Structure formats: C-alpha cells, structure tokens
Amino acid sequence: IVQTHLENLENEKKLKLQIEQAYERLQNDVKAQPDTKDIKTPIDESGKYTRSALSEEKSRDLFEGLENLMKNEKVFRDADLTIEKLAQMLNTNRSYLSQVINESSGLSYSAYINNYRIKEAIELLSNPANDEPIKAIAISIGYNSLSNFFTIFKNKVGMSPSAYRENVQLLKK
C-alpha cells in the first residue's frame, strides 16, 4: 500500500505537468470556438441542477478558482473551513459552490475537502525525514479531532497513519 502511494505521488507530479500542458491547449481550442457561455447543459443526469442559473463557463471558472485555493493556497488546512467561508472566498454562494463541487468532482463538500487533507497527510507521512507527531500533522492539515483523522485516513489509505509512516521508513531503508 505504501509503495503504491509513493509511486502515485511520483505519477501525480508527472500528471500535473501533463494537465497544465493540456489545459493550455484546451484554452487555445476554446478561444477558437463560438461563444456558448449562456448555454447550460446539466452534467448531473438526475436532473438535480437543470434549473440552475449557473452557466458552464461560470461553473468551470468557479471550479478553477476552487482548485487554485486548494492547491496553491491550501485553504483546506483551516479546521474551521465551511462551505459558506469557501463560497465567500470565491465570491459566490454556497448553493453554486456545492453544485460545482458535486458536478465537477463527483464528491460532496466534506469528501472533497477530506481528499485534499488526506493527500497532504500522505505527502507529509511519505517523507521519512519528517518526524512531526501525527497529532501535529492532523492539526496542521485541518483536523480538530485526531480520531476523525485516523478514521478517514484508514478508510482512504487502508491503514492507520502510524502504520503508513512505519512502512515508509521500512521501504526507504
């Protein structure tokens, strides 16, 4: 499991570069297409958002802003982060933000935030030189409750954070 996560971290770095290059190509392609910003095709086939006033362009821009806050500013580290606070940071309302997270990631707000937190925990715990206590790591990535962090980490990764760290240290020797 640990080896897989370490390989995934390396692959993710490569994919980030490929995504950035693909995004640049996509931006160039979009500029060449006719303007369809007012057409909204619901992504959710259940019809949940068919009456939404949020256009595809606004939805895409909102998700890009959200991803920027997560990846570059790491706002997920705020233990008191709520969907309302996040919506305010993005100059939108909680309903639109919830819709964008659901449609673009396929996740609920809390699952989306927890994915970033656990990913950060994996990165920190994958560094054998990092001897920061697990409780301090949990707090630094936005968890107020150590038991909540342990439960979510174990559900996502398949082992406890301490077991993950031990396996990383064994693999790096």
The per-residue pLDDT for range 50-100, each reduced to its tens digit, is: 556 788 888 899 999 999 999 999 999 999 999 999 999 999 999 999 999
As a whole number, mean pLDDT of residues 90-111 equals 93
Instruction: Please report the pLDDT score of residue 51 as a whole number.
Output: 59
Residue 173 pLDDT class (50, 70, 90 cuts):
low
Instruction: Please report the pLDDT score of residue 53 as a whole number.
Output: 73
5-39: pLDDT as tens digits = 888 878 777 766 665 655 555 545 444 444 433 33
pLDDT at 170 over 50: yes
pTM, whole model, 2 decimals? 0.73
- Say if CB 86 and CB 69 are below 8 A apart: yes
Q: Please give the Cα distance from 68 to 63 (Å, whole number).
A: 8
Backbone angles phi and psi of 58, in degrees to 5: -65, -40
133-142: pLDDT as tens digits = 999 999 999 9
Give the torsion through C-alpha atoms of 78, 84, 88, 90, to 10 deg. 80
125-160: pLDDT as tens digits = 999 889 999 999 999 999 999 999 999 999 998 899
Instruction: Please report the pLDDT score of residue 71 as a whole number.
Output: 93
29: tokens are 């392609």
Q: Please give the Cα distance from 9 to 3 (Å, whole number).
A: 10
Q: Please give the Cα distance from 143 to 141 (Å, whole number).
A: 6
Instruction: Please report the pLDDT score of residue 152 as a whole number.
Output: 94
Q: Please give the Cα distance from 139 to 133 (Å, whole number).
A: 10
Q: Above pLDDT 70, what percent of the chain?
A: 77
As a whole number, mean pLDDT of residues 161-169 equals 90
Instruction: Please report the pLDDT score of residue 21 as a whole number.
Output: 59
